[in-house]
Amino acid sequence: MLQIKNLEAGYGKVHVLQGISIEVPKGQVVTLIGSNGAGKTTTMRAVSGMIRPSAGEITLNGKRIDQLESNQIAKLGLAHSPEGRRVFATMTVTDNLLLGAFPRLTGSRPKGDVQADLERAMELFPRLKERRQQLAGTLSGGEQQMLAMARAVMLNPEVVLLDEPSMGLAPILVEEVFRIIARLKQEGVTMLLVEQFAAAALKVADYGYVLENGRISVHGEASKLMNDSAVRAAYLGGSH
Ligand SMILES: Nc1ncnc2c1ncn2[C@@H]1O[C@H](COP(=O)(O)OP(=O)(O)OP(=O)(O)O)[C@@H](O)[C@H]1O
Ligand SMILES: [Mg+2]
């Protein structure tokens, strides 16, 4: 379980997050919805240690992580699939995936069966299976996005942060990404999901938070948020 309490964070003098609290219970999918610039990516960065919070507490399974370095946070089981397809371009698909499992290979995370999980990732992302020996930098944008997600899952994480996994993808790939998120959820993977497709995110999620200018304005069960008139008007295009 990931717990964020009164988190404040930003960049130098720019205060972005003004004290937000979010809970991601084990086995659940929680979505964070908000307009461009609301602070969603900043939240993800603060949780994974890419930026240091200025106030508040973040705990992962009861252990404080808000003052740790990113690699220490990863060792505790937090995987971050960042905004904008970050893959290791000059490495193969397989090596990118094995790198996701690095803390397991070095013994700082429970090892489990890395080879079996690699096969499982390939089954989950068939496009990657076909291209396992291809250099990641030569994958299409959509395939790189899939690789970033698959690499996060290879940590065998306690929690996965997914920041806009469908960004820039063609509609058919967007559907595939949401199908994969639903599959991961079925397998019990705990996720904090940021998505521009708020309706689809609320459909797959158990619970949702709305972030406005660095503050949580509304939160509740995903099904309730989907029917909330203010949320619908602002984030779901007012229809369906
Ligand atoms: N490295 C940075 N330095 C300074 N300001 C930044 C930096 N990164 C983001 N910001 C600012 O922080 C605010 C929140 O940005 P953030 O990326 O968290 O938004 P977001 O909710 O993820 O938006 P989007 O939906 O566009 O991805 C914005 O005003 C942005 O300009
Ligand atoms: Mg963002």
pLDDT digits (tens, 9 = 90+) for 118-158: 999 999 999 999 999 999 999 998 889 899 999 999 999 99
To test the ligand 1 pocket, which listed residue (8, 13, 14) has its Cβ within 8 A of the most ligand atoms? Answer: 14
Q: Quote the ligand 1 centre to 39 CA distance (angstroms).
A: 6
- Cβ–Cβ < 8 Å for 17, 54: no
pLDDT surpassing 70 at residue 198: yes
Find the Cα–Cα–Cα–Cα dihedral 96, 101, 103, 109, rounded to 10°: 170
- pLDDT tens by residue, 50-101: 999 999 999 999 999 999 999 999 999 999 998 887 899 999 999 999 999 9
To test the pocket of ligand 1, the residue of 7, 8, 11 to mutate (highest count of ligand atoms within 8 Å of its CB) is 11
Identify the pLDDT of residue 83: 85
Ion ligand 2 contact residues with beta carbon within 5 A: 40-41, 83
**Mean pLDDT on 107-115:** 92
In the prediction, which pLDDT does 133 show? 97
Instruction: List the chain domain ranges.
Output: 2-235
In whole angstroms, give the CA distance from residue 134 to residue 103.
24
- pLDDT score, position 240: 47
Neighbours of 120 (CB within 10 A): 15
Contact (CB, 8 A) for 33 and 210: yes
The CA distance from 240 to 229, in Å, is 12
Q: Ligand 2: distance of its center to the CA of 223 in Å?
A: 23
Q: Which CATH class is domain 2-235?
A: alpha beta
What was the pLDDT predicted at 238?
Answer: 55
Lowest mean pLDDT: which of 5-14, 19-28, 225-234? 225-234
Q: Is the C-beta atom of 14 inside 6 A of ligand 1?
A: yes
- Paired sense of beta strands 55-60 and 2-11, if any: antiparallel
Would strands 29-34 and 191-194 be described as parallel, antiparallel, or unpaired? parallel
Element (H, E) at 115: helix 114-124
11-25, 169-183, 226-240: segment of lowest average pLDDT:
226-240
Q: 10 alpha carbon to ligand 1 midpoint, in Å?
A: 9
Beta strand segments in the chain, E: 2-11, 14-24, 29-34, 55-60, 63-64, 78-81, 159-163, 191-194, 207-212, 215-221
What is the pLDDT of the chain when averaged over all its residues?
Answer: 94
| Ligand 1 near 239 CB (within 6 A) | no
Q: Give the amino acid at 100.
A: G
Contact 44, 192 (CB under 8 A): yes
Full-model pTM: 0.94
Which ligand lies nearest to the CA atom of residue 33 in the structure?
A: 1
Sequence-distant (≥ 6) Cβ neighbours of residue 165 within 8 angstroms: 81, 145, 148, 149, 177, 181, 193, 195
